[in-house]
Structure 1
Amino acid sequence: MKKVLVVDDSAVWRTYLQNLLEVHGYTVEVAKDGLEGLNTFFSFLPDTVIVDYVMPKLNGVHFTRFIKSFSTFKNVGIMILTGAEETINPFWAKKSGANAFLKKTAPQSEIEKTVLEFVSQPFSIEWSRDLYTLRNEPFGELVDILEESLRDSTITKEILQLSEYIYDEKLVMKKIYNLFTELFEFDNLYACVSTYSHARIYAFGNKELAKPNFVFKKAEETKFFSYFKYTDAYYEGTERKIENAITEVITRREEPIGFITIENPKIPEVAERILALANYSISLIFDLLNYHMLLGSQKELEEITGAYNRHAIAAKMANLIDFSKRNQLSLSFVSIRLLNLRKLYTSKGADYTNELLRTFVKFLEEQLSDTIARIELGKFLVVILGKNVAQVQKQLNSFQTLLNESDEYRNLKEIEIEMNLFAWNGESVGEILEKL
């Protein structure tokens, strides 16, 4: 049964919304101000929140910004209620992370319809270890929340400043290690950053370091999975298991691009919280490191599949857009998402799945176009010049039929795909990639 938290300083509105939601089968808890709302949120862990804008101690926008600062709450739905004379600047409204806004002055039938439609959406909460401390140590004062926010912004700033050293990957990793040694006590730090085909792993510490295979084995106890073919280790380690450690998987565009493992933290809860706070900013740095590596290597093709990498396809698309404009040719784009790629990696292994991906790209080249890029771990872009949308759609229908019926490519039936087709309508390369 889905859970909804109602936060409002008006007893009338709390009772009204609670009754409405409980009648429709939802489990509901209420709070009378922003501070109580936060503490109730961390103990109740709702899927959806309906929060008033103007409240004592903490308003609805600040409440929302704080909740959404936790990556584990990215899929929680938050609706902000506003009164007749209350206005929220559109920029700050969007940046607060709220999913919807509703005026309390709307007709009752509209309010009830909007609220029920909102809470019925597939919002959800994901359990995360960084909730442990907050669930057991409620915020007593607003200063506690400000201190938590200050810690978050300070760590973020310190990590993002490392972008000036992006030309020296090992130095960046060492500075991350040095930062963490100032924040909490531990023995060793292992940091892995990876493209879709290549992983680079570093280690720093005061105690005996473990070899990369033991580090990866420990990381895989969490949700991290090995999908790359090549691994470069930039340290010497010994043959020993890692027993006591915590791992934070670093994700970008919802896909893993590495991890950080902390061995023997003195206070695990502190280390876990700081790693969770640092995840987003580290992901930006890791993404820059990967981009810099691709630029430096001057490689255009992704090593596992043979498709263009994200950097190379941007330049290729710019040339094709210019050519299509000058020659008045149609230009179409097909985005192909592999829906079960993670499942294949974990169930069939990296070697089998990567070979399957190579075969898939070969099939795309034969049937659609030779301009193919791997733009995310499980997403490919096909660029087709000289055909309009109707012609490409016909081509896609034939592609799907052949994919289902071909004996030569029967192993590709294991892949679940989702395809989206759109024509170029004057967008820049960045806008096209953002649309994908």
Structure 2
Amino acid sequence: MDKVLVVDDSDTWRTLLEKVLIEYGFTVETAADGIDGLNKFFDFLPDVVITDYVMPRMNGVHLCRLIRSYTSFKNVGILILTGADEAINDFWAKKSGANKFLKKSGDVESITKEILNFLKGNYISGWSKEVYKTRTEPFGELVDVIEETLKTEVINKELLSLVQYVDDEEYMMRKLKSLILDFVRADGLCILLISSSIGRVYSFGFYSDTTPHEYVKSNLLRAMEKPVTPSEWLLKFDSDASEDGFDTNNVKNFVISFGDQELGVMSFKRPRNAESLYYFMDSIGETLGIIAKTVNNFCDQRIATEIDFLTSLFNRKATLSRLKEYIELAKRRMLSLTVAMLDVDDFKEINDTYGHLFGDTVLKEIGKIFRNSMRKSDIVGRYGGEEFLIIFPGIKAAEAVEALERVLDELRNYDWRAVTGKPIKVTVSAGVAEFSDDTTLRELVNKADNELYKAKRSGKDRISVYREN
């Protein structure tokens, strides 16, 4: 830290502070009022601002709040000097963003000593002048500052309004993309959100036939210093392919943070004005952090209530909830719908022989096999114990049986020694039932369950299908 901006309408105090600070080795710039101070701030990019409270055109609190409205300036030190007879409202004192308030009452030596002690703090400007060259038009009057502030407030208010769609994250990200690209001219936008539970990538205009999705994800992660490792990933790429896809030479990445926590990355493809983009992103950085924190928390909480901890599949409640939704959809649109109930054969013997922890490893691996073998549109859930329920939207029983036969065959030939260290044999039995208009959820599940036990009684490691009489 070596750059200090002194803002005061008193020639005496400006001259005094400038002289003292220069003697102590600081590089000093001065300004005579709030507007002048704001313009000097963007031009000088100081590490510390020492400003008077009451000044012409704009006071010290307003100056402080404007500086703090930019994410890059969160670590700039700000000290506000107040006159002996000046009182500041407690609310504004707390909300100003200033690091310290200091009265000018008392002897000059004591005041300068307090200021020098303050300057020992770890303050620094995060704004790189070599990169940010946007503030070329100085603020003329307070009305210019107000106009700039109002623009920023309107944009941030619109962004925060998107939180109402938190229960439909993909729709929310599409709305966010549209809003951002209303202000930024770019050929595409990619948004990465990441939490310990799940990482998501929403890509708009970054897809091409020659650009693997994993390549895009890995390049976005490189923009972060210490990204967490999520349990799983969801990659959503729009279907409109571009010619060049993701090229690190034509993108600008911005890390989305909440406090010191990195929550994601926003990447722009071929932005037209990089300098204006940096300025814009800095003005909305805090709001984007709030949005990312909100959607990540919502996502984590939903996963915690819907996902089975052991297998990472949907739990029973979540699976039945989705089955209810698919039944309503099948009724309205006259779509096919099939369910299958599966049970691990002789699982009690596995537990009794090798222990419950060993059995948990087997269930976890079976869950992974089920999840990886099904279509993305299929719902795989752990129904309870060693039982699983799979929902096949849009297909008839015969097609579901074909998919299940492949899974059963994979389990028969699976190398369990590589996973468990034991040469065990694991098979499953399955019961299948197809939805018909007059079938309730409970009846459909019961039909599949009854067929499961028919498969068990018929020798296990097989599939039984419900057929109408």
Corresponding position of 2:16 = 16
Corresponding position of 1:155 = 155
TM-superposition CA deviations, 1:136-163 (whole Å, max 9, x none): 3332333332222112111110011111
CA distance in 2, matches of 1:187, 1:167: 28
Does structure 2 conserve the Cα–Cα contact (< 8 Å) formed by 1:187 and 1:262?
Answer: yes
Three-state SS of the structure 2 residue aligned to 1:271 is helix
Q: 1:231 aligns with which of 222, 230, 233?
A: 233
Corresponding position of 2:198 = 198
Q: Which segment drifts farther, 255-264 or 142-151?
A: 142-151
Corresponding position of 1:358 = none
| One-letter amino acid of the structure 1 residue matched with residue 148 of structure 2 | E
Does structure 2 conserve the Cα–Cα contact (< 8 Å) formed by 1:72 and 1:128?
Answer: no
1:289 equivalenced with 2:290 (yes/no): no
Pair 241,179 (structure 1): closer, same or farther in 2 beyond 3 Å? closer
Corresponding position of 2:29 = 29
Corresponding position of 1:431 = none
Three-state SS of the structure 2 residue aligned to 1:191 is strand
| One-letter amino acid of the structure 2 residue matched with residue 275 of structure 1 | M
Three-state SS of the structure 1 residue aligned to 2:46 is coil
Q: 1:231 Cα deviation (Å)?
A: 2.1
Q: 1:115 Cα deviation (Å)?
A: 0.7
Q: 1:211 Cα deviation (Å)?
A: 4.1
Q: Which segment drifts farther, 262-271 or 13-22?
A: 262-271
Q: Which structure 2 residues correspond to residues 42-57 of structure 1 after superposition, within 5 A?
A: 42-57=42-57
Three-state SS of the structure 2 residue aligned to 1:132 is coil
Pair 110,124 (structure 1): closer, same or farther in 2 beyond 3 Å? same
CA distance in 2, matches of 1:74, 1:131: 18
Corresponding position of 2:117 = 117
| One-letter amino acid of the structure 2 residue matched with residue 215 of structure 1 | V
1:245 equivalenced with 2:276 (yes/no): no
Pair 202,25 (structure 1): closer, same or farther in 2 beyond 3 Å? same
TM-superposition CA deviations, 1:252-283 (whole Å, max 9, x none): 13121101111112222333322222221121
Q: Which structure 2 residues correspond to residues 23-172 of structure 1 after superposition, within 5 A?
A: 23-128=23-128, 132-172=132-172
CA distance in 2, matches of 1:232, 1:97: 38
CA distance in 2, matches of 1:268, 1:59: 32
Q: 1:106 Cα deviation (Å)?
A: 2.3
RMSD: 2.8
| One-letter amino acid of the structure 2 residue matched with residue 42 of structure 1 | F
TM-superposition CA deviations, 1:14-55 (whole Å, max 9, x none): 011111112222111111111111111112111111100111
Does structure 1 conserve the Cα–Cα contact (< 8 Å) formed by 2:45 and 2:129?
Answer: no
| One-letter amino acid of the structure 2 residue matched with residue 249 of structure 1 | V
Pair 277,206 (structure 1): closer, same or farther in 2 beyond 3 Å? same
- Any unmatched runs of 5+ in structure 2? 310-469
Does structure 1 conserve the Cα–Cα contact (< 8 Å) formed by 2:5 and 2:28?
Answer: yes
Q: 1:164 Cα deviation (Å)?
A: 1.1
Does structure 2 conserve the Cα–Cα contact (< 8 Å) formed by 1:33 and 1:56?
Answer: yes
Pair 253,217 (structure 1): closer, same or farther in 2 beyond 3 Å? same
Three-state SS of the structure 1 residue aligned to 2:122 is coil
- Structure index of larger Rg: 2
Corresponding position of 1:423 = none
| One-letter amino acid of the structure 2 residue matched with residue 282 of structure 1 | L
- Any unmatched runs of 5+ in structure 1? 304-436
CA distance in 1, matches of 2:45, 2:129: 13
Corresponding position of 2:216 = 215
Pair 294,221 (structure 1): closer, same or farther in 2 beyond 3 Å? closer
Q: 1:266 aligns with which of 269, 272, 295?
A: 272
CA distance in 2, matches of 1:97, 1:215: 38
CA distance in 2, matches of 1:28, 1:252: 32
CA distance in 2, matches of 1:38, 1:101: 19
CA distance in 1, matches of 2:261, 2:79: 27
Does structure 2 conserve the Cα–Cα contact (< 8 Å) formed by 1:81 and 1:101?
Answer: yes
1:279 equivalenced with 2:285 (yes/no): yes
Pair 248,279 (structure 1): closer, same or farther in 2 beyond 3 Å? same
Q: 1:107 Cα deviation (Å)?
A: 2.5
TM-score in terms of structure 2 length: 0.60
| One-letter amino acid of the structure 2 residue matched with residue 213 of structure 1 | E
Q: Which segment drifts farther, 109-118 or 60-69?
A: 109-118
| One-letter amino acid of the structure 2 residue matched with residue 235 of structure 1 | F
TM-score in terms of structure 1 length: 0.64
Three-state SS of the structure 1 residue aligned to 2:180 is helix
Q: Which structure 2 residues correspond to residues 344-423 of structure 1 after superposition, within 5 A?
A: none
CA distance in 1, matches of 2:302, 2:228: 22
Three-state SS of the structure 2 residue aligned to 1:136 is coil
CA distance in 2, matches of 1:206, 1:293: 24
Percent of residue pairs identical = 39
Does structure 2 conserve the Cα–Cα contact (< 8 Å) formed by 1:130 and 1:276?
Answer: no
Three-state SS of the structure 1 residue aligned to 2:110 is helix
CA distance in 2, matches of 1:110, 1:167: 56
Q: Which segment drifts farther, 159-168 or 137-146?
A: 137-146
Q: 1:125 Cα deviation (Å)?
A: 1.3
Does structure 2 conserve the Cα–Cα contact (< 8 Å) formed by 1:42 and 1:134?
Answer: no
TM-superposition CA deviations, 1:345-383 (whole Å, max 9, x none): xxxxxxxxxxxxxxxxxxxxxxxxxxxxxxxxxxxxxxx
| One-letter amino acid of the structure 2 residue matched with residue 155 of structure 1 | I
Pair 244,76 (structure 1): closer, same or farther in 2 beyond 3 Å? same
Q: 1:110 Cα deviation (Å)?
A: 2.0
CA distance in 1, matches of 2:91, 2:202: 40
CA distance in 1, matches of 2:130, 2:236: 30
Does structure 2 conserve the Cα–Cα contact (< 8 Å) formed by 1:248 and 1:279?
Answer: no
Pair 130,26 (structure 1): closer, same or farther in 2 beyond 3 Å? closer
CA distance in 2, matches of 1:14, 1:182: 43
| One-letter amino acid of the structure 2 residue matched with residue 276 of structure 1 | D
| One-letter amino acid of the structure 1 residue matched with residue 9 of structure 2 | D
The number of residues matched between the two structures is: 305
Q: 1:240 Cα deviation (Å)?
A: 4.4
Q: Which structure 2 residues correspond to residues 261-340 of structure 1 after superposition, within 5 A?
A: 261-298=267-304
CA distance in 2, matches of 1:226, 1:206: 22
Three-state SS of the structure 2 residue aligned to 1:97 is coil
Corresponding position of 1:394 = none
